[in-house]
């Protein structure tokens, strides 16, 4: 079921013109920037967008303007591990990494997880219970589920990415809120914290 939904969402997103994605990403970011969760966060982690994906870069620019600490992810595909690394601007040295050719900081100095206030996460789909469907590698599930993580997890997406139900497994980690170009959703239920990396298995399909 997950793979079928992944393929459907990839087709759905590929059908949206890049200019439309850019405009609607900006609208979603404006809602995120205006949210209480963003305003009160001192340290914000955002992702570097892939093609056909909602972009959080307008939120990153606003965070720098508000003197917030901005972090982005860096992954180790072999170790199946992701860390948060600080960047001071889009001019920072970056490298292209992984099969998705995502831009990552050249630095590998990890930021302490307990000091992150808000993590803006990508996904292919979300439902109205806060469940998210990633690309299958489990990086964000492990990262958000770490025992030292206390940040609010916030999805950023286009309205087409909200579906009736996302299939879930025990190792899937939900978000606390979801911001799209049309609405903000906040979810009361939050999965209990658990230590990361204790016998967990992940769907590795992309």
Q: What is the mean pLDDT of residues 102-124?
A: 92
Instruction: Decide: residue 96, CB within 10 A, 0-12 exposed, 13-18 middle, 19+ buried.
Output: exposed
Given this model, what pLDDT does residue 165 score? 95
Give 79's DSSP letter: T
140-175 residue pLDDT tens: 999 999 999 999 999 999 999 999 999 998 888 999
- Does residue 198 carry a pLDDT above 60? no
166 φ, ψ to 5°? -100, 125
Q: Are 176 and 144 in contact (CB under 8 A)?
A: no
68-102 residue pLDDT tens: 999 999 987 677 789 999 999 877 777 877 666 67
Q: List, in sequence order, every residue forming a beta bridge with 133; answer none if it has no partner.
A: 125
Q: List, in sequence order, every residue forming a beta bridge with 132; answer none if it has no partner.
A: 126
Structure tokens at 162: 């909200």
What number of other Cβ atoms are within 10 A of residue 147's Cβ? Answer: 13
Range from 20-34, 135-149, 168-182 that averages highest in pLDDT: 20-34
Q: What is the mean pLDDT of residues 32-60?
A: 97
Structure tokens at 202: 């992940």
Q: What is the mean pLDDT of residues 28-40?
A: 98
What number of other Cβ atoms are within 10 A of residue 80's Cβ? Answer: 15
Percent of the chain with pLDDT over 90: 72
Given this model, what pLDDT does residue 81 score? 84
- Does residue 197 carry a pLDDT above 60? no
Given this model, what pLDDT does residue 99 score? 62
Question: What is the pLDDT of the chain when averaged over all its residues?
Answer: 88
Beta strand 125-126 with 118-121 is unpaired
165 φ, ψ to 5°? -155, 130
Of 5-9, 15-19, 77-81, 197-201, least confident by mean pLDDT is 197-201
Beta strand 118-121 with 43-45 is parallel
Given this model, what pLDDT does residue 104 score? 84
Q: What is the mean pLDDT of residues 179-199?
A: 68
Confidence of residue 59 (pLDDT cuts 50, 70, 90): very high
Q: Are 145 and 76 in contact (CB under 8 A)?
A: no
Helix axes 57-65, 18-34, angle to 10 degrees: 40
Closest CA to 89 of 108, 65, 73, 113: 65
Q: What is the mean pLDDT of residues 178-202?
A: 65
Given this model, what pLDDT does residue 100 score? 63
Question: At a CB cut-off of 8 Å and minimum separation 6, what does 154 contact?
Answer: 32, 37, 118, 119, 120, 121, 175, 176, 177, 178, 179
Given this model, what pLDDT does residue 171 score? 84
């Amino acid at each position: 079921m997950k793979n079928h939904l992944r393929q459907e969402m990839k087709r759905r997103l590929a059908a949206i013109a890049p200019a439309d994605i850019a405009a609607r990403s900006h609208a979603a970011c404006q809602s995120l920037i205006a949210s209480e969760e963003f305003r009160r966060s001192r340290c914000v982690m955002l992702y570097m967008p892939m093609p056909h994906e909602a972009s959080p870069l307008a939120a990153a620019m606003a965070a720098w303007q508000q003197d917030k600490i901005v972090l982005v992810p860096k992954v180790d595909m072999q170790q199946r591990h992701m860390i948060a690394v600080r960047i001071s601007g889009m001019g920072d040295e970056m490298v292209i990494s992984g099969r998705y050719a995502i831009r990552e900081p050249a630095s590998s100095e990890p930021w302490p997880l307990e000091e992150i206030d808000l993590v803006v996460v990508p996904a292919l789909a979300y439902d109205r219970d806060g469940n998210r469907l990633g690309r299958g590698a489990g990086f964000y599930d492990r990262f958000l589920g770490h025992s030292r993580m206390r940040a609010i997890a916030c999805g950023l997406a286009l309205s087409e990415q909200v579906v009736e139900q996302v299939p879930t497994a025990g190792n899937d980690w939900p978000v606390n809120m979801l911001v799209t170009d049309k609405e903000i959703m906040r979810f009361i239920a939050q999965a209990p914290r658990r230590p990361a990396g204790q016998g967990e298995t992940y769907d590795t399909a992309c």
